[in-house]
Structure 1
Amino acid sequence: MLRLGTQMCRQVALNKQNVSCIPGSKNTQILVTRKMTQQRTPVDWTTSIPTKAAKDKEKIAPLGWFLLLIPATTFGLGCWQVKRKIWKEQLIKDLSKQLNTAPVDLPEDLSDLSLMEYRMVKIRGRFLHDKEMRMGPRSLIRPDGVETQGGLFSQRDSGNGYLIVTPFQLADRDDIVLVNRGWVSRKQVEPETRPLSQQQSEVELTAVVRKGEARPQFTPDHKGNIYLYRDLPRMCACSGAAPVFLDAIYDVQAAKNGPIGGQTRVTLRNDHLSYLVTWFSLSAATSFLWYRQIVKRIPF
């Protein structure tokens, strides 16, 4: 009886195993469902279609477009400085050409001289030494073009002095013009210290046409017959001369006994290269910052 019971239990267990392996059975469906559930990958319910809020966030705001004016403006200023540089270089060439051309006669109409700055002209007449004026202090420009060290606060006679401006009565007409005869040291400022240069006879000389100057900033007023800059209205009012200012060129004979001519200063600065580099650099830097902050929205 004990052996029979043991065989029956084994048979029942074997039948249960066979039932669980039968396709389509309830147990088989449970096992398959459980296995599929364990192997199923999680579903990502997020969508790749941009929402309205995302689209609005990607748009460039009006302030962003307004900030684009900074690189655009600096780029335009750089282009403008390129044109200015070309113009200034051409002006310097024209000026150099005028200073090296042969002198011409003084025009009949003195108003034409306003278009002839830095042009050399020939004049003939005599100096009115009793109306002599001084302009300075000025440093000496030597014949080789080197300028000595001298100025308002320098007391060295070798490099500091004044320009002697004397009215000049033209020989062939009644007009009087102002002529910058040249530079003298402080020791020779008074006419008595250079009597050989105060001739009353008629002379012929070559001079460079110059224009008047506006009063520089922070420049004090003139003192007596000493002028700090080419103040043509005041100089002409004191001397009765026409508004014409000429710089006498360097003359070896005249420089021995009197003012040293050739004191024409060419005051044309050409700093446009540094300006255009500055503007283009600012344009490149601000363009990079605008693209980084406004377009890519990359924080620092």
Structure 2
Amino acid sequence: MPDGREEDAPPRRRRTVALAALVVAIAILLGLGVWQVERRAWKLDLIARTDARLAAAPVAAPGPADWAGIGKADEYTRVTATGHFLSDRETPVLAVTVHGSGAWILTPLVTPEFTVLVNRGFVPPDRRDPATRTPPAGEVTVTGLLRVSEPGGGFLRSNDPGAGRWYSRDVAAIAAAQGLGEVAPYFIDADATPNPGGWPIGGLTVVTFRNAHLSYALTWFGLAAGLAVLAWRARRG
């Protein structure tokens, strides 16, 4: 006659395996929740540092001696540079703004020490042709935000220098296409100082950081709590 304990062994093993799987799942969900809490702290620090740079007085645009160290940590620093524009070598780059779709106008600014691309601002399609705008003349001082290069192109679209189609502000590629030689590895988003004739419109940089890490953390912790309840009930059963 079979031993009742032997007949009960397979269900016990299945229950043990299920409980072990729940424990592993709970541990993973708790780890994901902690990771999101850490990401939230990092994002809040990033926002605070960016806000500080935006509120600070402008500094001189970094010259060649500082180019090797330029990176994401420098983005949105307020900078200023003085020189003259090479308006005949401007490059329109696809843009979508509060004013609709059109183009950013990137123009080389030649300073006494180096050349830097300046995003002078937005123009609608009917102002894309330089002949429809008043070119800047003489020496100018530009104040704006330091931005890192955007290599490659836009979403699902690659820059096509040969056809003059630009979907991102790729500093190196634009400089090569315009025959500018060595330029600063960043570009400057000009502020809202009016341009001659009103075009382009500067000062349209959008500085936002998505911060949904708290909701993600609560979701992972909530799922972990739900599984913990299931595990407790299964253990009692």
- Scaled to the shorter chain, the TM-score interval is 0.7 to 0.9
Contact 2:145 2:190 in 1 (8 A): yes
Q: Which has the higher contact order (CA 8 A, sep 6+)?
A: 2
Distance 1:283 1:205 in 2: 53
The higher radius of gyration belongs to 1
User: Given the alignment of the two structures, is residue 296 of structure 1 paired with residue 236 of structure 2, yes or no?
Assistant: yes
Counterpart residue identity of residue 91, structure 1: L
Match of 2:160 in 1: 222
Cross-structure match for 1:116: 74
Q: Give the partner amino acid of 1:211.
A: V
Q: Deviations over 1:187-224 (max 9, x none)?
A: 11111111x2x133111111210012254442244363
**2:187 corresponds to:** 245
Deviation of the 1:137 alpha carbon: 3.4
Unaligned runs of at least 5 residues, structure 2: none
Distance 1:199 1:75 in 2: 58
Structure-2 separation of matches of 1:168 and 1:186:
23
Q: Does residue 231 of the first structure (1) align with residue 170 of the second (2)? A: yes
Correspondence 1:61 to 2:61:
no
Contact 2:22–2:228 under 8 Å retained in 1: no
Matched, 1:70 2:25: yes
Give the CA deviation at 1:266: 1.8
Q: 2:136 aligns with which of 199, 210, 219?
A: 199
Shift of residue 107 of structure 1? 3.0
Partner of 2:90: 132
The structure with the largest strand share of the pair is: 2
Query: In structure 2, do the counterparts of structure 1 residues 160 and 216 end up closer, same or farther at CA, with 3 Å as the change threshold?
Result: closer
| SS, match of residue 102 in structure 2 | strand
Aligned match of 1:27: none
For these two proteins, the number of residue pairs brought into alignment is 224
How far does residue 52 in structure 1 lie from its aligned partner after superposition?
A: 6.1
CA RMSD in angstroms comes to 2.4
Shift of 1:232: 2.6
Q: Are positions 1:264 and 2:205 aligned together? A: yes
What TM-score comes out, normalization by structure 2 length?
Answer: 0.84
Q: 1:70, 1:90 → 2: CA distance?
A: 31
| Aligned residues of 1:178 and 1:246 also touching (Cα < 8 A) | yes
Kindly indicate whether residue 106 of structure 2 is the aligned counterpart of residue 165 of structure 1: yes
TM-score, normalisation: structure 1: 0.67
Gaps of 5+ in 1: 1-50, 140-146, 149-158
Deviation string 1:169-190 (CA, Å, 9 cap, x unpaired) is 11x21x2111000011211111
**Alpha-carbon separation, structure 1, partners of 2:207 and 2:192:** 15
Displacement of 1:287 in angstroms is 1.6
- 1:42 is matched with none
Three-state SS of the structure 1 residue aligned to 2:233 is: helix
Preserved contact between residue 133 and residue 226 of structure 1 (Cα < 8 Å): no
Q: Residues 131-178 of structure 1: CA distance to partner in whole angstroms, max 9, x if unpaired? A: 110111322xxxxxxx34xxxxxxxxxx332110011111x21x2111
